[in-house]
Each structure stands twice: as C-alpha cells, then as structure tokens.
A and B are shown apart, each in its own frame.
Chain A
C-alpha cells in the first residue's frame, strides 16, 4: 500500500518534471486545449447572460391595444367591455394617455424631451394579458381586437421575447454541439500528445512489461500526464474566458448605459468553473486512457 502510494507520487513528480523539461511543447498543448475549451465555455457564459436579460422581460403573452386619438370616454368603455368579454383574456389594464406620458417622463433622459412637447402625442391604451402563451390564441385575439371601433393598432408584445427565446434555445443547442466537438478535439490532442510520449518511452515501457509491470503500472504516469494536460488546459480556458468577459464588460457597460440599464455581464460562478475543470481533466484522462490502451493492445514485447 505504501509502495503503491509511493509510485503514485513518483509518477506525478516524474510527469511534472517531464512537462517542465519541454516548456514550449507543453505550453502549445495547453494553449491548444485551452482555446478549444474556451469557445464552448465562453458561448455558455454569453448565453447565460442573454437569458438573464430575457428573463427580466415578461414572457407572459400580452397584447397592447392603442386607441384612436379621437376616442371618447364612451368608446373607451365599449372597447374595455369587449376586451373583458373576449375568450382567452386573463386581465385588462387601462393605461390613460396622461399616465403613459408620466411613465415615459420617468425613464432616463426623456423628461427634457417631454417638457418640450406642446401636447401629449400618446394615445390611450389597454394592456391585455392572455390566459395562455398559445400563438394561435394571440393571433386570433390580435385580429379580433384590431377590428374593434376606435382601435388604432394592436401590438403583440410577447412576439420578440418568444423569438429571443427560440434564438436562445438554438444557441444552447449550438453550445452543446460545440462542446461535444471541441471535447472530442481535446481528447484527440491528449491522445496524440500521450502517443508521442509513449513513443519516446517505448524502450522503458517494453522493458517494464518484461520485468513484470502490470498494465495499471504502465498506464499510471500517462493518466497523470493526460489529466494534468486537461487541468492546465481547463485553467487556460478559464483564464481566456474571464479575460474576454472582463474586456467585453467594459463595452457592455457603455451599451447598457445607453439603454438606461446597469446590467453587467456575469462571470461564471465557482461551481461552474469547477465543473468546467472537472470536465477537461476527465477528457484529458480519457485521451490518455485510449492512447495507452491502444499501445498496450497493439505492441508486442520482445526479447
């Protein structure tokens, strides 16, 4: 047992020494793995941020009904009655033109513009919440309400949110596909690195097998090598992503300010970072496993 632990320690130390002996090749390998991992990881982070933005906007389907400017109180009441009576309507909220103007005035930078207006350009409006997010329902009610007297325009507010949602789902699928492909490339990179290492140590491996080394003994240092490459590559990927997010954040803050928002791009949290590292270590290990197993199966010892 002690000897077994000793060999683990020895394997780890030898592997570290081997990596340190060829710093250039090691760095290139780590960068290759890091870049391959940074792409899906970065895409995941950006998508997470977009989701957060879209999550703030109500995905509840709703219709905004703008009335004609000349609608009288009686017309408004008639429309309200028709809206409340329609099937599939959950709630109806009246927004008077004065209230709308006051709300607009509260938004950043708009009060000056409003102060310059001689009269209120806004129409009276109703905001209708629908009972389900069924697109067919929204379409039917939109047509129905548009034909009401004194109704000027009907806007389906949820449409762009739904589009964004669909886009985000597409993005998520893309991230999964990208992760699988680049995960495969990580396995390929470690597979090849380990294969080269095996070739340079071919004599030692063959000798070890002849003097009674088990397959586990021969695999061990290469498992360490693969896992270490995965770990270093994962750290490189995290560094790349964090640096990119920090840079993007600078521009994002300015963009967000223009929209009166103080939203920041969120950095991945510690559990997400640990998961990413665990994945890259596991993939590095897998590359090493495949490489050494292939060698052990195909090679033939000789006297």
Chain B
C-alpha cells in the first residue's frame, strides 16, 4: 500500500517560480528510497509538501491516506507527529542538553515524563550518544550532531522518516554511519525518504531513486 502518493502535484512560489511541475509518484509502506537532483530541482519543496510546510497549488498529496494538499491547519501537528524530520539546518537547541533535545518531540506530543525519558535514552543509545546525554550539542562533533538529529527524528517512532541532505558537508565515514542508521530503521518497517545530491552515496546503497530536474520527475 502506498504510504506517500503524489498525483500531478505542482508548486509555484509567490513570485512565479515553479518548483514542482505535475509530479506523480508513490512510495510503498516500508520502502527506502532516494530523492535526487541538482540544487534547486525541487527536492526540499517536495519534502515540504509531504510535511504540510508548504501547500501544493495543484494535484493531490496523500500521506498515510490523508489528503495533505487539503489539510485543515488544526490537523497539521498530528500529521507531523507521524513524520520524523531530519532537517538540512539541523535545528538543534543549544540552550539545553543532548537528552533534552531528544525529549522535545515526546514532550510536545504529551508523553508522560518517565516513559518519555526511557524512550529518549533508548533512541540516544541507538545512535551511540547515550554517554553524551548531559552534554550541550555545541560540544558535539559534526557527525555526532547529525546523529543527534536522527535520534530526535525517530524517538517518536514515526511511520515515515524524511531526511533533507543528511550527509551534506560531512565526510564519507559520517555519511555511511547515518545511512546505516536509516537502513536499520527501514529494516523494522519505517519508510525512509532521503533527499541527497550525493551520487556516490546513491550508487553505494542501490535503492530506488526519484530524480528531479527543474521541478519535473525524470
């Protein structure tokens, strides 16, 4: 069953720039795939449409059976709770510890504190950062910060993980590390969509690839 499906989706930004033109595809539940294309091809826009950060101008976006292109604003938080987002800009909060950063999605969704703390530690353990739980994210290395972002994205056990350039500007060792983690989540049934322009990475992992070129799917 398709967990994400786009049909004839287009997105035009105010000012007239057409980021996506009649894009159609479907992602099966439990699939792991790459989204690639040159810079400005529309990768980030496509991810934004899935998370209801932007709204499509035409076509239909279905996520988990829900029509995201016509979603009520009040329903958006509940859609996002089913998504694990790894942002290009990381968005770690530097006024709190590694542990509190991972706790945030659980607090936001109203998990009881004790259960949330247990799950946050489990997620940190999975990405190998449990020993650093009291540290401030600033003191972490680039690779560790990226792993922290992954832990925060998956701590709520989302059905879908969306990652925007998770390996950008990291060396190859970090990139493999991150991809191993995504692969491990995918193995337990999580759908993973990774946007990247790193052709080497795509070549190594042999997954389905969606290629965008000037807003059109190849």
In B78-113, which residues have CB < 8 Å from any A CB? 78-81, 85, 87-89, 91, 93, 95, 104-105, 107-113
* Interchain nearest-CB distance for B42 vs A (Å): 13
Which residues of chain B come closer than 8 Å to A214, judged between CB atoms? 74, 77
Give the docked Cα–Cα distance between A123 and B88 (Å): 100
Contact of B112 among A6, A209, A215, A301 (CB under 8 A): A6
Which residues of chain B come closer than 8 Å to A301, judged between CB atoms? 53
User: Is there an interface contact between A303 and B88, defined as CB atoms closer than 8 Å?
Assistant: yes
Interface 1/0 per residue, A3-26 and B, CB below 8 Å: 110110010000000000000000
* Interchain nearest-CB distance for B132 vs A (Å): 20
User: Is there an interface contact between B108 and A208, defined as CB atoms closer than 8 Å?
Assistant: yes
B47 interface residue (CB < 8 Å to A):
yes
For chain B, which range describes its interface: under 10, 10 to 19, 20 to 34, or 35 or more residues?
A: 20 to 34
Which residues of chain A come closer than 8 Å to B89, judged between CB atoms? 303
User: Is there an interface contact between B113 and A6, defined as CB atoms closer than 8 Å?
Assistant: yes
* Interchain nearest-CB distance for A289 vs B (Å): 17
User: Is there an interface contact between A211 and B80, defined as CB atoms closer than 8 Å?
Assistant: yes
Which residues of chain A come closer than 8 Å to B87, judged between CB atoms? 210, 303
User: Is there an interface contact between A212 and B110, defined as CB atoms closer than 8 Å?
Assistant: no
Contact of A212 among B53, B77, B93 (CB under 8 A): B77
* Interchain nearest-CB distance for A211 vs B (Å): 5
Give the docked Cα–Cα distance between A120 and B128 (Å): 108
Q: A210-B85, A303-B87 are in contact. Are A7 and B110 (CB under 8 A)?
A: yes
Interface 1/0 per residue, B41-68 and A, CB below 8 Å: 0001001100101000000000000000
Which residues of chain A come closer than 8 Å to B111, judged between CB atoms? 3
Give the docked Cα–Cα distance between A302 and B164 (Å): 12
Give the docked Cα–Cα distance between A203 and B95 (Å): 11
* Interchain nearest-CB distance for A9 vs B (Å): 10
Most interface-central of B51, B77, B85 (chain A CB within 10 A) = B77
User: Is there an interface contact between A212 and B91, defined as CB atoms closer than 8 Å?
Assistant: no
Interface residue count on the A side (C-beta < 8 Å): 22
Most interface-central of A3, A204, A211, A215 (chain B CB within 10 A) = A211
User: Is there an interface contact between A303 and B108, defined as CB atoms closer than 8 Å?
Assistant: no
Give the docked Cα–Cα distance between A215 and B81 (Å): 14
Interface 1/0 per residue, A193-213 and B, CB below 8 Å: 000000000011011111111
Q: A7-B110, A10-B107, A207-B93 are in contact. Are A303 and B47 (CB under 8 A)?
A: yes
* Interchain nearest-CB distance for B142 vs A (Å): 19
User: Is there an interface contact between A303 and B164, defined as CB atoms closer than 8 Å?
Assistant: yes
Q: A6-B113, A211-B85, A303-B164 are in contact. Are A203 and B91 (CB under 8 A)?
A: yes
Interface 1/0 per residue, B111-150 and A, CB below 8 Å: 1110000000000000000000000000000000000000
* Interchain nearest-CB distance for A249 vs B (Å): 49
Give the docked Cα–Cα distance between A213 and B51 (Å): 13
Which residues of chain B come closer than 8 Å to A267, judged between CB atoms? none
Interface 1/0 per residue, A247-258 and B, CB below 8 Å: 000000000000
In A288-303, which residues have CB < 8 Å from any B CB? 301-303
* Interchain nearest-CB distance for A11 vs B (Å): 10
* Interchain nearest-CB distance for A301 vs B (Å): 5
* Interchain nearest-CB distance for A206 vs B (Å): 7
A44 interface residue (CB < 8 Å to B):
no
* Interchain nearest-CB distance for A294 vs B (Å): 16
A210 nearest in chain B by CB position: B85
Which residues of chain A come closer than 8 Å to B152, judged between CB atoms? 211
User: Is there an interface contact between B51 and A3, defined as CB atoms closer than 8 Å?
Assistant: no
Give the docked Cα–Cα distance between A4 and B107 (Å): 9
Give the docked Cα–Cα distance between A302 and B54 (Å): 9
User: Is there an interface contact between A302 and B53, defined as CB atoms closer than 8 Å?
Assistant: yes
Which residues of chain A come closer than 8 Å to B109, judged between CB atoms? 212
Which residues of chain A come closer than 8 Å to B44, judged between CB atoms? 303
Which residues of chain B come closer than 8 Å to A209, judged between CB atoms? 77
A2 interface residue (CB < 8 Å to B):
yes
Contact of B105 among A3, A211, A215 (CB under 8 A): A211
Q: A207-B91, A208-B104, A303-B164 known; 5 other A-B pairs, CB under 8 Å?
A: A210-B53, A210-B85, A211-B81, A301-B53, A303-B88
Provide a sorted-by-A list of 18 A–B residue pairs whose CB atoms are within 8 angstroms. Answer: A3-B112, A7-B107, A203-B91, A208-B104, A208-B108, A211-B80, A211-B81, A211-B85, A211-B108, A212-B78, A212-B79, A212-B156, A213-B77, A214-B74, A217-B108, A303-B48, A303-B85, A303-B164
Which B residues have a C-beta under 8 Å from some C-beta of A?
44, 47-48, 51, 53, 74, 77-81, 85, 87-89, 91, 93, 95, 104-105, 107-113, 152, 156, 164
| The 9 A-B residue pairs with the shortest CB-CB distance in the complex, in nearest-first order | A212-B81, A212-B80, A3-B110, A213-B108, A211-B105, A212-B77, A214-B77, A207-B91, A3-B112
Which A residues have a C-beta under 8 Å from some C-beta of B?
2-4, 6-7, 10, 203-204, 206-215, 217, 301-303
